[in-house]
Structure 1
Amino acid sequence: MTNKQQVIDRFTSYITIDTQSDPKSETTPSTKKQWDLANKLVEELKDMGMQDVSIDENAYIMATLPTNVNHEIPTIGFVAHFDTTPDYSGTNVNPQIINDYDGGDIVLNKTENIVLSPDYFEDLKQYKGQTLITTDGTTLLGADDKAGITEIMEAMKYLIDHPEIKHGNIRVGFTPDEEIGRGAHKFDVKKFGAEWAYTMDGSQIGELEYENFNAAGVIVKFKGKSVHPGYAKNKMVNAVLLANEFLSLLPPREVPQHTSEREGFFHFYSIKGDIELTEIEGIIRDHDRNNFEARKQLVNQIADDLKQKYNDDIISIEISDQYYNMREKVEPVFHIVEIAEEAMKQLNIEPIIKPIRGGTDGSQLSYMGLPCPNIFAGGHNFHGRYEYVPVESMQKAIEVIIKIAEITATKYLN
């Protein structure tokens, strides 16, 4: 078992560095402040004895732990991202350490009466008696995915300090801008040189995921005509109402708040504009590729029907695919999932194999030639003030990384 305080110290040193990404930026990384943690990680990798440590002009970090056996073993990799979501503040993160959690309410912020309660967040109940790291109620925590970075770093240090544990070449990769969907965009798979990898970017202990949503983004613009409302009959075209009509024609129950597991959805999250021009933005998600294509077709059909009802110039629609279900690329090399599953079982962790209701760097990397299932990092309630992570889950994730390396070395012994 790795040293608990060492894990806490490393994790808190990362989360107190603001690395929020920005979807409106066109640079990589999308924010300059991501360099602060990126440069720190590079120095730490060098100091612990990792080889071939590099950081490119876009802040993609790679490093190698060289093999310590004589027989040939496939090079494997572990990947995590160092940015945090733009959805919630990551500035001045002030973590709270809850030792020997008693199973009750945790007051995050007494002044603002912000409480993390197992009555609402039932997963808390399974961590009674453990050490939790929470927010102070004013920011997110950053366990997504600085827990993953901590775990990879601690696992590499442990393997360096314990050469009796046999392993092949291990590549480490840390990426910017995952939270805005660009984490893999400039990842050099050839340079990384691994046969397969694992993202350490899941949630609760035991999660092992090799399928995710097919994803597309949607932007719909509505053009109207503004006329004095007192004299608007048969003249005004209200773009706000057109947008509302468009949204009303979508299946009302096929939205995030009414779907789970492999059920897909339409999610329009932004509307802005006025009578003359209104724009809505959304996403389309589905695990099944045929259903995914049908959802895109439905959105286009609604737009076409409204064009016929009014006129062709009144609506413009743009649908862009973002990523696809990694299952298609992972299933042909399913032994990489089985190795991770076996690692968990040997550590008395019950594998929770389920589809991701989202995407990771791994989903894009899998289509770039690097099959990349996702493993738990331990955190809960990502992207908000109620985020927390049990330290014991992080320790188990570190052990899983080590065990995967060990099993891989053994598997290819003969």
Structure 2
Amino acid sequence: MQYRDVIGIAFAQIRGNPLRTFFTLLGIIVSVAFLIAVVAIIQGMNAYVKENIADAMVGTNAFQVRRTPIQVGLIDDELMSRIRKRPRVSPQDAEVVRAALPDAIAVSRQSGWPTPITEVLWRGRSVGGIFVFGITSEYQVVQDYSVQKGRPISDVDVSQRMAVTVLGTELAEKLFETVDPIGQEVRIAGQRYTVVGVNAPKGRVLGQSFDAYVLLPITRFEMQYGRRLTTTISVKVSDTADVGAMMARAEEAMRLAHRLRPGEENDFSIETSDALVSFWKNLTRILFAVIPAVVAIGIVVGGIVIMNIMLMAVNERTREIGIRKAVGARARDIERQFLVETVMLSALGGVIGVLAGWTFAFLVSAVSPLPARITWWSVAVALGLGAGIGVIFGVYPARRAARLDPVTAMRAE
């Protein structure tokens, strides 16, 4: 028997029992759809963290000199105790880094944790939940901010502790609506500040706005809020390839400034956005560890269902098998026929599962801030699982059909 005939008969059997086929494949469809959807969401989140959250927090082609590392979730109690003993990052440290990196595009200093959240008022209107950051003039270069209206905070503002502020787009729109905010006086935590600029929008990340903030000269910020526990130095370089060398030079300068002896551990941290991405990926590894177990259970259950259905099909088609053997069909022809039907069933379940998972991932990304990215390897694994289950669980029913005695089979009703 030719493969074309075998495949044709298999299609006819599947098409002739659509409801039974669907329920037979339900376990595989659900398992494969789960695999595709979860992997798509996790991969999308990994890319989203790198492209949006990490770069937005640290900056593109940038690194930070910090009192504490970014991946605080991975620090044990003993190490955290040592970190608390570290000195705070000072304005003098920023000047040391600046002197060590004359070829850097920008070296800025900004307030860190805890970040004040306050209410901003203007003529009876108020907007709450606004983040307050103290910065030096080069911060906007490091963070890739562009001014939409007015001007950024300048060196003069910082040196003279000027009561001026730059607003995020969302705050400016809510507070002033159709009024030009430049030159207007607002109250930030009870203090008067003159609006000198409005930054272009950065957008939202996972539903969290990156435009609901005010920027103050860091000297003025520290007058009002005091020095933060984690004031940060940020350095922006011209090329990603230069980041490693610049970090090494900054580390050497900081060690000399802090008078650390050879072999003594750093009392500061130097981080890039890769640290945050790595921290996130460590969290998602837990999900990747659980996914195979869940998918394997579903696939095995689906394979057992397929095997039982095919055994039932062998019993239903006993007379057909006897007639085919009587007219010359060999045992391997019968075995191949049932094995092809099983593989086609499970492969069909894999394809439907891929489409269902793809659709679900798309719907999740459409109705929520969670992104989703379908990866080729997850599709290949899903389709391979579908076909593989057909081979593994289809061998026994196929061999049972091939071993039927033709005379006995023809007598079956």
* TM-score when normalising by structure 1: 0.22
* TM-score when normalising by structure 2: 0.23
Higher relative contact order (CA 8 A, sep 6+): 2
Give the greater-gyration-radius structure (CA).
2
